[in-house]
Amino acid sequence: MACESLSRSRNLPCKIGFSGIKAVGFLNYTPLTLASEDIYNGLGLATQEIYRYELKNDGNTYEEDGVSDRNTSTTVYTGALTIVLPLLDRATRDEVKKMAYGRPQIFLELFDGQVVIAGFEHGCELTSAKFATGGARKDMNGITLTFNTEEKQPLVFVGPAGITAYQDAINSTDVITPGTGFPSGS
């Protein structure tokens, strides 16, 4: 099999970028299928539920490293997602415990309007859950989660049809309202 070859050049972009993660959507691991050109178009989401978590902290980051090894003829993309959920509450604690047992695929809603998926093929492993309340009144009170991914392809972009399917799959009836300790459906 021939190796893939470069096929395009790239210009320097205008200064229109805006960084950050606005929300994440957790999908209990489900095998998903890509559309042409490595774009996810929502195949398989019609019967699924996504659990959306709004974010509001500068500590929410996703970084992905591609590492190639000539000796083994492999390339692996490893990702690290850190999200901060403000305000400790029992209902969120219970959901975090479920995340630790599973390996969800995580949709990242970016502030620039794009949606990408971390852990598309193999899911995301929760490697750290830090529950914290600080010593001073203005210190952190919440949960910091770190997920790791290991994929053979870089993170997947969601196309327009996929964004619609994603939004339709969001569970908006069983929502945790931090501060009350109970989901809205309880």
pTM higher than 0.75, yes or no? Answer: yes
Rounded to whole angstroms, how far apart are CA atoms 111 and 138? 26
* Domain residue spans of the chain: 21-169
Model confidence band, residue 43 (pLDDT cutoffs 50, 70, 90): confident
Residue 186's pLDDT is what? 52
Q: Which amino acid is at 127?
A: T
pLDDT, tens only, 123-141: 999 999 999 998 888 888 9
CB burial of 32-71 (b: ≥16 within 10 Å; e: otherwise) equals bebeeeeebbbeebeebebbbbebeeeebebeeeeeeeee
pLDDT, tens only, 68-122: 999 999 999 999 999 999 888 999 999 999 999 999 999 999 999 999 999 999 9
Least confident range of 9-23, 31-45, 154-168: 9-23
Rounded to whole angstroms, how far apart are CA atoms 110 and 157? 11
